[in-house]
Chain A
Amino acid sequence: MSETVDALAARFRPGDRVKVRRAFPPGHLRTPWYIRGRAGEIERLCGAFANPEELAYNRPGLPRQPLYRVRFRQAELWPDYTGRPGDTIEIEIYQHWLEPEEATA
């Protein structure tokens, strides 16, 4: 199978506003608890990677999921954040954990 057909197409582009799904499925997850349900902005597309939630159970993890770096504002993650308003955090999130922000507003 060629690289182009075993990976899902990227839905998002840098600058797009997205929201992380607020979901709590069991299993091996690479989406930290603290970021679920939060809104941020696509910083870059990192490529497409086998889904770790499948790999953890010795399955192939195909089709590969686009992986993004998403930038969040710290002040929106932690209500009592003591740093500066401009502080940010960037996290890698797989596409199946993301939806457009406006669709969930």
Chain B
Amino acid sequence: MSALHDHDHPHRPDEEDGPPDYYRQLEVAVRELLLEKGVFGAEDLRRQIEKMDAVEIGRGGQMVARAWLDPDFKARALADGSAACRELGLEVGALKLVVVENRPGLHNLVVCTLCSCYPRPLLGLPPDWYKSRAYRSRAVREPRAVLAEFGTPIPDDVEVRVHDSTADMRYLVLPERPAGTEGWDEARLAALVSRDSMIGVARVSTPQ
């Protein structure tokens, strides 16, 4: 042990400290076989991971900002979210997107109780809490308590509508446009839209 590290507080174990579990072993075995058989190369794998990690929430924010500014676009997005993405030139592949709108009297919240389904082409990788058992079970069971813990208490006269993303659709919440943004252009509005507001655990804050 070095002199710089001569203390005895407990360290959190690294992920690799324990033996790999069944699924980790399976992933490594399949990945190495695919590489060994030349199905794809190490560079292809690295590039795909980089591409998945690089999706920024700005794409979702762009959808929201356009919907705030253009009522006709909003109507089209609520009718067919995937078509609205393509209209903006967003490459979303096979994504089947449903856009759900927050409005006075209605607050939407998205969860996937079965796993971690998430609109990745628009929002990137889901946050760890979205995949946690606590969020997945409690968001359907006691959504108002969960929302309050996120700092988003919902008034009694507002309906809370949970969307359990269990099958082929993915969900994007269209949050309410905050006051104080009158006259803002699309880029400025898009930058205001947070990831959490598009999952439904937060509102878009009024700018300071």
Interface residues of A (CB under 8 A from B): 30-32, 34-35, 46-47, 49, 52, 67, 69, 74, 78, 81-84, 86-94
Q: How far is the CA of A88 from the CA of B159 in the complex (A)?
A: 7
Q: How far is the CA of A30 from the CA of B117 in the complex (A)?
A: 12
Interface residues of B (CB under 8 A from A): 96, 98, 113-114, 140-145, 156, 158-169
CB-CB under 8 A for A92 and B167, given A34-B140, A82-B145, A83-B143: yes
Which chain B residues lie closer than 8 Å to A46 at the CB level?
A: 96, 98, 167-169
Known: A30-B166, A91-B166. 15 other contacts (CB 8 A): A46-B169, A49-B168, A69-B169, A74-B162, A78-B141, A81-B142, A82-B142, A83-B160, A87-B143, A87-B161, A88-B161, A88-B162, A89-B161, A91-B163, A92-B168
Q: How far is the CA of A32 from the CA of B113 in the complex (A)?
A: 8
CB-CB under 8 A for A86 and B159, given A32-B114, A46-B96: yes
Which chain B residues lie closer than 8 Å to A87 at the CB level?
A: 143-144, 159-162
Question: Cβ of B161 and Cβ of A31 under 8 Å apart?
Answer: no
CB distance from A92 to the nearest CB of B (A): 4
Q: How far is the CA of A94 from the CA of B166 in the complex (A)?
A: 10
Which chain B residues lie closer than 8 Å to A69 at the CB level?
A: 98, 169
